[in-house]
Structure 1
Amino acid sequence: MNEADIPIDIHVGKLQDWLVSRRIVGKNWHHNVREVRSKISNALTDMPAHEELVQLLKGAHINYFHCLQIIDILKTTEADSKNVFGRYGSQRMKDWQEVIKLYERDSLYLAEAAQILVRNINFEIPSIRKQIKTFEQLADESEKKAGDLRRSQNTVRNEYQALCRQLGIAGENLRDELVTKVGELPEMLNNIATSISTLQKAIELYGAFSNNTECLPVLRHVAKTGNSTVYEFLYSEPPLSIEVPPMKFAVEKSVPIATVQEIDFGNDGGTIDFGDIGGNGIDFNVDAADVNLEAGEIDWGVSDDVVDPNAGVIDFNISLEESGIVVEEGGNAGGVARGEEAYSICDSPTYRERLINEMLELEAFLKMRLYEVSVGDAVHILSLTMMDSFPDHDPKSLSQMLAQVDVIYEKINSPQIQHLHQIKHSPKYVDILTSKLKQKLLAIDKMKDTENLMLERAVTFREQSAGLQPTVTNITDQTRILQSQIERDISKRYKNRVVNLMGANL
């Protein structure tokens, strides 16, 4: 086999060691590179305006092969300075020719080119590609976070809308809508109380079983009379008038101080004048000359000359008709319902709780009876015979009763009724509930801002990644060119044998 046909394979990582071991370059070639780089820096300060030079020097690390191209371009731009002997008088040409001579001394250019090739392959190109990959990952993560935030927004928004639907409000002006919704609470409670009348049969069954006709008093009263006042439940008769306590969250109008000038005690004979409130004293319409300040004497307004012998004697023979005193009948007829007695049973915090507890008691009884009727063993047959006098005492009727209790219990314990009841009877609950709803809106706005920020970051990372693509492409192309130039140079030294630089993954 011909020696010229045998290729020379050199691993890129071992290229510099291979050049030194073949004595193509010296071991101390690093010390001579500084002088060459200094000459190149000085020569670059004086360059002609030429498009090819601009493209050549753009973003490139100048090496020996670039210098050869620069001289070829200067042969055109500096042609006027050429003399008859073929030499150039231009200082620019002389500077670059000197750089070429320094490079070619001891094949310094080949050692530097090998160093640039190894650095580009092992560090520069991988580093830029790693930056591109990092920017792409950051962009993907930002877009993923934006998607998660968008889903979280939808979740919180659905919770907000569900809570608004639960409360029966639109959610535009939260506090005012909640306060207005409380006005509908009495009608809702009256409808629930009306449906409680369907539990009459279940209440009678429980009373017959427990042999107590007065069991479940609150539930029994509501089933019979509806959502009456607590006063009527306590005294078994409706009041003549009801003074419902004002809602604690309502805003009271302040009375101007200028209008407070006199106190009305309710006497129709006129007003009592306390004089100037501003500090001039209280005028009792008594002349100071008529006041006797001597100790031990009190003027009762009775003359010493006129003494009634019957004074101090009480006449007990006056009739009630003559005295004008009217004695009402016994009991609470004509009473006024005030405070908690003015609330309806379903609205009063205390009696509402009692009503719910009695419903739970009735529910537990019905479940137990349904179980006993369904099992039907010998022990339970005895208890069934005790209830023979009560009609419709079978699993089907018990299941219907139990279903009615469950439906009414769910109505009176619905979230909307609970919230409205708390708003009416708790001065701070409306603000707490409003704050809770507003926090969800603030959370949505915050997540939306964060989502927009994540999307902006993703765009920025994409732009940075795209901005590095031309750089890595340019360096890769230059590295491939440099690799082929080194291969040709080494090939000339070995009778044009094929040279392959291995391991350059470009």
Structure 2
Amino acid sequence: MKDWLEILRLYEKENVYLAEAAQIYVRNVNYEVPGVRKQMTKLEQQSDECIKRVQDLGKPEAQLLSEHAALLQQLGVKGDHLRDEFLQVLAKLPEMYANSIRDIGKLGEAVNLFSEGSDKQCLPLLRHLIEFGNTTVYQYVNKEAPLTIEEPPVKLNLSEDNTMANTDENEIDFGGDDNGGTSSTISAEMIDFGELSLDVNNVANETDPNDGDIDWGIETTPTDVVEIDLDIPIEEYGIVIEGAGLDGGVAKGEQAYTILDSPTYRDRFLDEIYELEAFLRMRLYELNQLDASSNIMFSLMDTISTYDADSIRKMLTNIEKVLCEICNEQTRHLFQLKHSPKYADLLANKLKQMTKAVDKIRDTKEVLKNRSLELKQQRVDLNPVLAELVAQTKKLQLNIENDISKRYKNRVVNLMGGVN
């Protein structure tokens, strides 16, 4: 105990304790208390910035979700099993094509106007669609409907990461040649039947109608048996047979597609309808110029005076309506999906990237929210530290004032610049 009293006496000697207390007091007032308060303010700002960043991330998240939902809606799928859903929605393409040209008959008047003054047949595909509808390419080329249609199967190249369905069950190989046919396909352009007549004037008693192995289900009555001359050279009539089997009347390859479903003929049809639109816009411009100049001689040229500007505008409106139906987003996506095997994987990757981006944004928002809570908690934890530091500083200030007051006969001493 004596040692501690000696230490205390030496500490109070020459007012060393008072100088040290004053130094601690000045450091608390000038540095410690302002530093804690500054740290608390900084924590509040960081917490507010995290909350603001969370709110800012809500906009791109909503935009990505909207684009993702819009793309799924355009494709007509839910996004759970893309391969199966793609195949199901592709089966609706013929119905969509039929609905897209339900008003194409209204273009007949515009086609007739375009064809006036021309010797050759104009806009053949457009005329065919107006008259017969969206038939197969085979019917357009051969002027008759096919007996059977063998459309190439759809091939979707979806990677395993982009589909939840069984890829082995749904993967189909196109095979075939560039025209979608096989080596036994008989080209319609290679056959010229001409006027084929068979000589059936000779009687063949040795022919027995029951020699065949196939019962066709046809009841026959006894008739005179005629002899058919089978020695007619087929080459004379331009008939070329490749391979085995009978392919006559069978639409294969690209000819099995409908006109709007064939990449080649669809482009030709769009070229024709755009050509018709350009013609009508030029004719409308000429009519407007005619009204402005009142040139009587110009009005006598061909049939420019047959249709007025309102009629031309109505034709243009019908064309724009048909184009809008044929070239809408869903039809465009499904057309590419059917005829481009890689397009399915591109769509799947796009949907996957959108989903990943949304998940990343949500994870970032969750991290920022947790960080904001941590910063707020750190701010709260500093409250007792600041309170204790202020209390000690005030107590130290009071002790210094009392000590100095004793030295000057208890006169009142006030230290300026204290803490609040």
Query: TM-score per shorter chain, which class?
Result: 0.7 to 0.9
Aligned to 1:214: 121
| Maintained 8 Å contact 1:194/1:227 | no
Give the equivalent residue in structure 1 for 2:321.
407
Q: Tell me what 1:287 maps to.
A: none
In 2, distance between residues paired with 1:223 and 1:138? Answer: 68
- Per-residue CA deviations over 1:394-448 (Å, capped at 9, x if unaligned) read 1221111111111111111111001100110011111210121122112111211
Distance in 2, Cα, partners of 1:382 & 1:342: 51
Instruction: Give the aligned partner of residue 136 of structure 2.
Output: 229
Answer yes or no: is 1:395 the counterpart of 2:309: yes
The answer as to 2:47 corresponding to 1:139 is yes
Sequence identity, in percent? Answer: 44
Tell me how far apart the structure 2 counterparts of residues 432 and 152 of structure 1 sit (CA, whole Å): 22
**CA deviation profile, 1:278-299 (whole Å, cap 9, x unmatched):** xxxxxxxxxxxxxxxxxxxxxx
1:241 aligns with 2:148: yes
> Match of 2:12?
104
> Counterparts of 2:256 and 2:146 in 1: how far apart (Å)?
9
Counterpart residue type for residue 175 of structure 1: R
Give the one of 255, 267, 273 matched to 1:359.
273
Distance 2:121 2:305 in 1: 17
Find the aligned partners of 1:437 and 1:253 in 2 and give their Cα distance: 23
**Can you give the 5+ residue segments of structure 1 that lack an aligned partner in the other structure?**
1-90, 255-318
CA distance in 2, matches of 1:215, 1:344: 20
One-letter code aligned to 2:153: P
| Residue 345 (structure 1) aligned to one of 259, 283, 286 | 259
How far residue 216 of structure 1 moved from its aligned partner, in angstroms, is 1.8
Q: Deviations over 1:324-381 (max 9, x none)?
A: 7697988999433221111111000111111112221111222222222233234865
Give secondary structure in 2 for the equivalent of 1:428. Answer: helix
Question: How many pairs are equivalent?
Answer: 349
Q: Could you say which residue in structure 2 is the equivalent of 1:166? A: 74
Deviations 1:104-146 (A, max 9, x none): 1111111011110111112211221222122212211111122
Residue in structure 2 matching 1:386, options 280, 301, 318: 301
Over 3 Å counting, the alpha-carbon distance change for 1:477 and 1:252 in structure 2 is: closer
* TM-score when normalising by structure 1: 0.63
3-state secondary structure, aligned to 2:418 = coil
Contact in 1 for aligned 2:138/2:251 (Cα 8 Å): yes
Is the alpha carbon distance of 1:381 and 1:176 closer, same or farther for their aligned partners in structure 2, counting shifts above 3 Å? farther
* AA partner of residue 48 (structure 2): D
Paired with 1:381 and 1:445, the residues of 2 have a C-alpha distance of 70
State how far apart, in whole Å, the 1-side matches of 2:305 and 2:80 are: 55
Q: Give, in angstroms, the shift of residue 483 of structure 1.
A: 1.4
Q: Deviations over 1:71-125 (max 9, x none)?
A: xxxxxxxxxxxxxxxxxxxx4xx45533432221111111011110111112211
How far off its partner does 1:497 sit? Answer: 3.5
- 1:73-472 paired onto structure 2 within 5 Å: 91=1, 94=2, 96-208=4-116, 211-212=118-119, 214-249=121-156, 321-323=228-230, 334-375=248-289, 376-378=291-293, 382-388=297-303, 391=306, 393-472=307-386
8 Å CA contact 1:373–1:380 kept in 2: the answer is no
- Letter of the structure 1 residue corresponding to residue 249 of structure 2: G
Quick check: 2:287–2:309 contact (8 Å CA) kept in 1? yes
SS at match of 1:242: strand
Q: Higher mean Cα deviation, 327-336 or 150-159?
A: 327-336
TM-score by length of 2: 0.76
Residues 379 and 488 of structure 1, relative CA distance in 2, 3 Å threshold: same
Q: CA deviation at 1:213?
A: 5.2
Provide the C-alpha distance between the structure 2 equivalents of 1:419 and 1:152, rounded to a whole number of angstroms: 24
Hey, what's the Cα distance between the residues in 1 that align with 2:233 and 2:147?
A: 18
Q: Tell me the CA shift for residue 193 of structure 1.
A: 2.9
From the superposition, tell whether residues 450 and 190 of structure 1 become closer, same or farther in structure 2 (CA, over 3 Å).
same
Q: Secondary structure at the match of 1:194?
A: coil
The CA deviation at 1:198 is 1.5
**Counterpart check, 1:503 vs 2:411:** no
Asked if the contact 1:488–1:499 (Cα under 8 Å) also holds between the matched residues in 2, the reply is yes
Cα distance in 2 for partners of 1:382, 1:502 equals: 106
Q: Which has the larger radius of gyration?
A: 1
Report if the CA contact (8 A) 1:231-1:239 is conserved. Answer: yes
